[in-house]
Amino acid sequence: MSILELNRVSKRFGDHVAVEDISLTVAKGEFISLLGPSGCGKTTTLQMIAGFVDPSAGAISLNGRNLVSVKPAKRGLGIVFQSYALFPHMTAAENIAFGLEMRAVPRAEREVRVRDALAMVGLDGFADRYPRRMSGGQQQRVALARALVIKPDVLLLDEPLSNLDAKLREDMQIELRQIQRSIGTTTVLVTHDQTEAMALSDRIVVMSKGRIEQIGTPHEAYERPASAFVSQFLGKTNEFPGEIDRHAASPRLVAGSCQWPAPAGASGPVMVTVRPEKVGFGSESDSGLKARITNRIFQGNHWLFQCETECGPAIIVRQNTGEAQPAEGENVRLVWRPEDMVIRPGGGGR
């Protein structure tokens, strides 16, 4: 059952189109991430849901109610900002209680809900602590508790982990997902971090230049990207120009010295894309892509290889199994399963 719906929403600032004709349905209890580079429209979309920015066109509804004319404070949304926006003169408990006070929740009930919220985010014993005496991770937890204590219909997260260091960000991703699953709050996250979006989300909404490029589960978006942009933005990928040869007895897809049965309906120049971890090393006798290793980098749990192939540069990622790996300067053949590559029309440019 859907709880939040965006129907052909657009936003223009003068001649600049920030968001163009996007539609999205979010199910109750779902965790959705709006993912894309800076300037793609994801934050503007979140601000329109929150009510801080009015859409130029389209409709936004929550539980069937049109939100466009509803003030932000009346929308029943919880929001966690990138800066946390905690009141410096208030303790953790007072910050968390603020939204309840604005809703005239009785004091006895406020105290119980604040205490439960502090426990939920692992801050028992921090009720009287001021933000200036708390770490970034602790402040982030207070901001999350403040947003959740009002029991919002939808929780909006505007890059809440971007100010944390890498290790703490990873820990908070796990905690955030566990909290969201335990209470079942519908959540919309804005992030430019691909790893964060894939780790947290039920579905990812990949955006570029104000438009939605793809909506799907993290696995779907990564394994079967709908466009070249999604393929390149969600992790690393290799692109090799190819050609569909339909003059042969059996139509073939040809890329360098490699050949495969031609996919149905494809013709002319194409681009073959394959993820670095899907590529293996074959022997000189294998019918793989001819390549020479130009750089080999050990990264602990895996090896990263940079290669120059007959179809251009390539990156290969191989897990560290303890086995010997090809050396720099060595000639190899790059091989992969046909089902691990994606074929797109057009062979011009990378």
pLDDT at 262: 82
CA 221, CA 96: separation in Å to the nearest integer? 36
pLDDT higher at 265 or 162: 162
Domain with CATH 3.40.50.300 in the chain: 2-232
Asked if the model's pLDDT at residue 163 lies above 80, the reply is no
Looking at residue 347, its pLDDT comes to 54
Hey, which CATH number is domain 2-232, 1.20.1250.20, 3.40.50.150, 2.40.50.100, 3.40.50.300? Answer: 3.40.50.300
User: What is the structure's pLDDT at 166?
Assistant: 79
Residue range 51-63, pLDDT digits in tens: 999 999 999 999 9
pLDDT tens profile 103-119: 899 999 999 999 999 99
User: Is it true that domain 238-345 has CATH number 2.40.50.140?
Assistant: yes
Q: Percent of the chain having pLDDT more than 70? A: 98
Between CA 202 and CA 200 the distance in angstroms is 7
pLDDT tens digits, one per residue of 21-64: 999 999 999 999 999 999 999 999 999 999 999 999 999 999 99
The Cα-based distances of 142 to 123, 135, 237 in angstroms read 8, 11, 38
pTM across the whole model: 0.85
pLDDT for position 167: 80
Contact 283, 276 (CB under 8 A): no
For the chain, residues classed under CATH 2.40.50.140 are 238-345
pLDDT for the residue numbered 315: 96
pLDDT value for 350: 37
| CA–CA gap between residue 51 and residue 48 (Å, rounded) | 5
